[in-house]
A and B are shown apart, each in its own frame.
Chain A
Amino acid sequence: MSVVLADAPVLNVDAIRRDFPILDLVVNGKPLVYLDNAASSQMPQAVIERLVHYQQHEHANIHRAVHYLSETATREFEGAREKVRRFLNAKEAREIIFTRGTTEAINLVMHGYGRAHLAAGDEIILSSLEHHSNIVPWQMLAIEKGVVLRVIPMNDEGELLQEAFRKCFNANTRLLALTHVSNALGTVNPVQAMIDHAHSLGVPVLIDGAQAAPHKAVDVQALDCDFYAFSGHKLCGPTGIGVLYGKADWLEAMQPYQGGGDMILSVTFEKTDYNVIPYKFEAGTPAIAAAIGLGAAIDYLQSIGLEAIEAYEHELLAYATERMKAMDGIRIIGQAKEKSAVLSFEVSGVHPHDVGTILNDEGIAIRTGHHCAQPVMQRFHVPATARASFAFYNTRDEVDRLMEGIAKVREIFA
């Protein structure tokens, strides 16, 4: 009996592209090809309009006053929190903390859990694929507390070595801090199995979801991770807003990250009683408009469907990979079996910054550099790479433009 695979859900990409006004831009006389989505994605008109509507009709400070606008803003802000809860399938909205982004979310866990609960000799496991934002906070803790960091190595394809991973654990292990998808290489880590393993040894897990949440459906209850962090601006929302999901039991046990207004129940000069979660972790006036914009971005992505987005991007990556492999003098860095739509590459004999400048002249935006993942660069013995990262609004035509641009790089440097 033969198995018939269902066709991948087809996206109407022409219609989708019309939702993004910036994609009509002409750069250096050529239509923009935006392939830097792993750094930041673009914003659809619906989200732009939601931000404008908020500022024109709904803005006041939240959780403060009894007047109409404050109540409206509070309702919309808390409504956005509920949208995030559904997006991640968290059990309760109070498990969703708004932060400035993934970086602040990880720093919050470092302060609230790490500084409050870890001591000299305790160990934290990281992976060699981490972004600096999931390395540096833990290094700061290591210096302050004498905590030991262990790093899971990877193979030449950019996949974490699972046997070595299991050997990182011992009686002192207190946390696994792991990226869901590598920003530099696109590797999708087998987070479910890794979380399960850590939990079997009683170790909590923080997942950096900055590169995963925009591209695949995430279910924090199914994953059973203890913390999950992501950023708004990588999933078609505004900058300055991100999310930390944490299991309520952990959040209750953690110390506040910052002190100030909104995170208290009562204050005297002798003593302060902290507010309940999530407010305990949201000191000061938050990015209200940005949070509401993030809610609108989630609505937009869900109207297309994360499964459809993942399938479409997977197909686009396969096409781009195939075309790039057919070119001479190009090395793809990171060829994991499970990959998100990221292509890191080297053009033989040409520094990535020269590649980036020449592609920019062709209207093509890619990222060149170390991608805030210098340990990954060191692992592959390169100072930097060129990286094309795709979103659901990119097309095969744009992949072709990229390949023509790379051919021009090769021609100039021949």
Chain B
Amino acid sequence: MNDSRMLYQEVILDHNRKPRNYGRLEGANRHAEGHNPLCGDHVRLSLNVAGDRIESLAFEGEGCAICKASASMMTGAVKGKTVHEAEELVSEFRGMATGNLDPEGEHHLGRLKVFAGVADLPSRVKCAILPWHTLHAALNAEESVSTEESVSTEEE
């Protein structure tokens, strides 16, 4: 039997209520925007990367509790990490959220394990992963990512 409390644990609710590192970073040298057109989740990341280390980062945007808490906890988890370490977390988080990484196995996710429950909710996986996709884009100098590829009918 499924219970909302399994997913909506206090740590997620707390980060949703009081997101950490929320806002725009002054003097940031990396930016990226992530967008999920299916539900309107929107994440904007600004980072300060010095050498191969993420000195600081901040996020802002609109989204569901899963997306906001994931973004908030992500900023805490990758601050001070090297680009390589951050990319490793991106890959591990994506693996866990899609059910391809055992949260009880060996990894560096730590408290991010609270998001393991989304693997059972296919419609919510993208909510949790969006901030991580956006981080990956920022670290690879891409300016925007979408959970869906899109073509606009608006004329240039």
Write the A375-414 contact mask toward B (1 if CB under 8 angstroms, else 0): 0010000011000000000000000000000001000110
User: Out of A352, A353, A358, which one reaches B4, CB within 8 Å?
Assistant: A358
Q: Tell me whether B3 and A361 are in contact (CB under 8 A).
A: yes
Is B4 a contact partner of A140 (Cβ separation < 8 A)?
A: no
With A351-B64, A361-B2, A369-B39 as known contacts, state yes or no: A139 contacts B153, CB within 8 Å: yes
B7 CB contacts on chain A under 8 angstroms: 357
Taking a contact as CB atoms under 8 Å apart, the answer to whether A358 and B2 are in contact is no
A351 touches B65 (CB 8 A): yes
Instruction: Find chain B residues with CB under 8 A from A351 CB.
Output: 63-65
Q: How far, in Å, is A331 (CB) from chain B's closest CB?
A: 17
B136 to chain A, nearest CB (A): 23
Interface residues of B in 103-131 (CB under 8 A from A): 121, 123-124, 127
**Contact partners of B23 in chain A: CB under 8 A:** none
Across-interface contacts of B63 in A (CB, < 8 A): 351
Interface size on B, residues (CB 8 A): 24
Partner of A350, one of B38, B65, B123: B65
Question: Does the CB pair B153–A353 fall under 8 Å?
Answer: no
Contact status B4-A383, CB under 8 Å: no
User: Given A136-B153, A383-B39, A384-B40, do A354 and B2 touch, yes or no (CB 8 Å)?
Assistant: no
- CB distance B124 to A353 under 8 Å? yes
Question: CB of A180 within 8 A of chain B?
Answer: no
- Given A350-B65, A353-B127, A361-B4, CB of A143 within 8 Å of CB of B153: yes
**Do the beta carbons of B8 and A412 come within 8 Å of each other?**
yes
Chain B residues whose CB sits within 8 angstroms of the CB of A358 once the complex forms: 4, 8
Contact yes or no, B3 A357, CB < 8 A: no
B153 lies within 8 A of A357 (CB): no
Within the complex, the shortest CB–CB distance from A276 to chain B, in Å, comes to 35
CA distance A358 to B64 in the complex (A): 12
Question: Known contacts A28-B1, A357-B124, A408-B4; is A384 also within 8 Å of B155 by CB?
Answer: no
In the bound complex, do residue A29 and residue B1 qualify as a contact, i.e. CB atoms below 8 Å apart? yes
Our count of residue pairs bridging A and B at CB distance below 8 angstroms stands at: 56
> What B residues does A384 contact at CB under 8 A?
39-40
A360 CB contacts on chain B under 8 angstroms: 2
Docked Cα-Cα span, A358 to B40, in Å, equals: 19
Distance, CA A165 to CA B118, complexed state (A)? 46
- Which of B1, B3, B42, B65 contacts A354 (CB under 8 A)? B65
Say if the beta carbon of A370 comes within 8 Å of chain B. Answer: yes
How far is A142 from B7 in the complex, measured between Cα atoms in Å? 46
Q: Is B66 an interface residue (CB 8 A)?
A: yes
- Residues of A near B124 (CB, < 8 A) are 353, 357
Q: Mark B1-28, 1 if CB is under 8 A from A, else 0.
A: 1111101100001000000000000000
Whether, in the assembled complex, B62 has its beta carbon less than 8 Å from a beta carbon of chain A, the answer is yes
Write the nearest CB–CB distance from B151 to chain A, whole angstroms.
12
CA distance A139 to B3 in the complex (A): 44
Q: What are the residues of chain B within 8 A of A412 when measuring CB–CB?
A: 4-5, 8, 13
Contacts of B65 in A (CB 8 A): 350-351, 354, 413
Q: Which residues of B contact A28 (CB under 8 A)?
A: 1-2
Interchain nearest-CB distance for A76 vs B (Å): 38
B4–A357 CB distance below 8 A: yes
With a CB–CB cut-off of 8 A, which chain B residues contact A369? Answer: 38-40
B3's nearest neighbour on chain A, judged by CB, is A361
CB proximity of B87 to chain A, nearest CB, Å: 28
**A 150-194 contacts with B by CB, 8 A:** none
A377 contacts across to B, CB distance below 8 A: 40
Chain A residues with Cβ below 8 Å from B121 are 357
Interface residues of A in 324-370 (CB under 8 A from B): 350-354, 357-358, 360-361, 368-370
- Across-interface contacts of B123 in A (CB, < 8 A): 353
CB distance from B131 to the nearest CB of A (A): 15
Nearest 6 pairs of A and B residues by beta carbon: A383-B40, A351-B64, A29-B1, A353-B64, A358-B4, A361-B4
Residues on B close to A: CB < 8 A? 1-5, 7-8, 13, 38-42, 62-66, 121, 123-124, 127, 153, 155
17 contacts between A and B (CB under 8 A): A143-B155, A350-B65, A352-B64, A353-B39, A353-B64, A353-B66, A353-B127, A354-B65, A354-B66, A357-B4, A357-B124, A358-B8, A361-B2, A361-B3, A384-B39, A412-B4, A413-B8
Supplied contacts A28-B2, A357-B7, A413-B65, 10 more A-B pairs, CB within 8 Å: A351-B65, A352-B64, A353-B127, A354-B66, A357-B4, A357-B121, A370-B39, A370-B40, A377-B40, A408-B4
List residues of A whose CB falls within 8 A of some B CB. Answer: 28-29, 136, 139-140, 143, 350-354, 357-358, 360-361, 368-370, 377, 383-384, 408, 412-413
